[in-house]
């Protein structure tokens, strides 16, 4: 992996600052007592753009697969979901599987660590040139993306949701009337409102003193939309499914009887 910093503006600023201080050391004896905040070092963002992978892929991928199976089974067992037109079910599946999976990770208390993606040898790049090209086309998980996912998980862990709160929150995520081209959009909107009402009814008796809990849960749920399905796929499932399309597996799982 190339560890050279790519923040050219940052490097130029630091180089100019050093040169400036050398040239002006004799001209301004008192400058060392005055902080010039324009010359203070800034944090480099290159580290956050580093590509990463799971530190223990065998164990974590197995656990993630279990969470994914539970996620799809949850959707299959919702009578209202099964009443929707087939195309609507497919559209909602594509829209909500990643947020539901993250909620599943949070509910299972599943933590994980990442390491830098190892650089391939020149021989491997030559032998696997076609595979390498397809992998380069996909957006690889970055440290910034993983940190965002971990922050989302920590937020839900701090809320310590009950199983019922998780269940109704998942309902609000599944029945999303904003998904494009839904034939039963009004029905889906009604289902989402019912799920939100049920969530509120569960929250109040469980936490009567915490009047802001319902809003806090919805705010935490909004964080789920910032995590891309691609990050989830590449981080947790690419080592398992190889070049296959994860959505194809999800469709098979959802409609297999």
pLDDT digits (tens, 9 = 90+) for 181-222: 999 999 999 999 999 999 999 999 999 999 999 999 999 999
For residue range 51-75, list pLDDT tens digits in order.
Answer: 999 999 999 999 999 999 999 999 9
pLDDT given at position 126: 58
Read off the tokens for 210. 């915490």
Contact of 149 with 102, CB cutoff 8 Å = yes
Percentage, residues of the chain above pLDDT 90: 70
Phi, psi of 24 (to 5 degrees): -105, 10
Q: How many CB atoms lie within 10 A of CB 232?
A: 23
**Eight-class DSSP state of 51:** B
With CA atoms as reference, report the closest residue to 232 among 93, 59, 75, 102. Answer: 102
Fold adopted by 50-255: Retinoid X Receptor (1.10.565)
Residue 154's Cα: distance from chain center in Å? 12
Per-residue pLDDT averaged across 216-244, rounded?
A: 96
**Eight-class DSSP state of 237:** I
With CA atoms as reference, report the closest residue to 100 among 244, 234, 225, 253. Answer: 225
pLDDT given at position 49: 81
Per-residue pLDDT averaged across 72-95, rounded?
A: 97
**Eight-class DSSP state of 116:** E
Residue whose tokens read 């696997």:
128
Round to whole Å and give the CA distance between 25 and 39: 15
SS3 content of the chain, % helix, strand, coil (to 5): 70, 5, 30
Residue 139 — pLDDT band, cuts 50, 70, 90?
A: confident
For residue 45, pLDDT beyond 80 = no
Per-residue pLDDT averaged across 225-252, rounded?
A: 95
pLDDT given at position 97: 98
With CA atoms as reference, report the closest residue to 88 among 171, 169, 174, 181. Answer: 181
What's the pTM value of the predicted model, to 2 decimals? 0.79
């Amino acid at each position: 992996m190339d560890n050279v910093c790519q923040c050219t503006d940052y490097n130029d600023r630091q180089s100019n600052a050093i040169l400036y201080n050398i040239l002006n050391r004799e001209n301004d004896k008192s400058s060392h007592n005055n902080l010039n905040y324009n010359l203070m070092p800034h944090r480099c963002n290159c580290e956050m753009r580093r590509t990463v992978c799971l530190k223990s892929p065998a164990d974590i991928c197995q656990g993630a697969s279990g969470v994914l199976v539970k996620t799809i089974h949850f959707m299959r067992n919702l009578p209202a979901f099964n009443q929707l037109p087939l195309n609507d079910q497919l559209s909602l599946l594509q829209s909500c599987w990643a947020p539901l999976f993250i909620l599943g990770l949070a509910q299972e208390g599943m933590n994980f660590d990442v390491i830098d993606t190892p650089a391939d040898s020149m021989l491997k790049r030559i032998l696997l040139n076609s595979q390498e090209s397809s992998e380069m086309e996909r957006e690889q998980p970055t440290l910034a993306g993983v940190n965002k996912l971990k922050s989302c998980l920590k937020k839900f862990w701090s809320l310590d949701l009950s199983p019922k709160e998780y269940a109704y929150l998942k309902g609000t995520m599944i029945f999303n009337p904003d998904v494009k081209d839904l034939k039963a959009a009004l029905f889906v909107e009604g289902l989402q409102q019912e799920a939100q009402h049920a969530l509120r009814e569960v929250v109040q008796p469980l936490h009567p003193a915490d009047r802001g809990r319902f809003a806090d849960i919805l705010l935490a749920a909004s964080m789920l939309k910032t995590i891309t399905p691609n990050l989830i796929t590449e981080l947790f499932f690419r080592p398992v499914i190889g070049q296959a399309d994860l959505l194809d597996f999800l469709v098979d799982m959802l409609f297999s009887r």
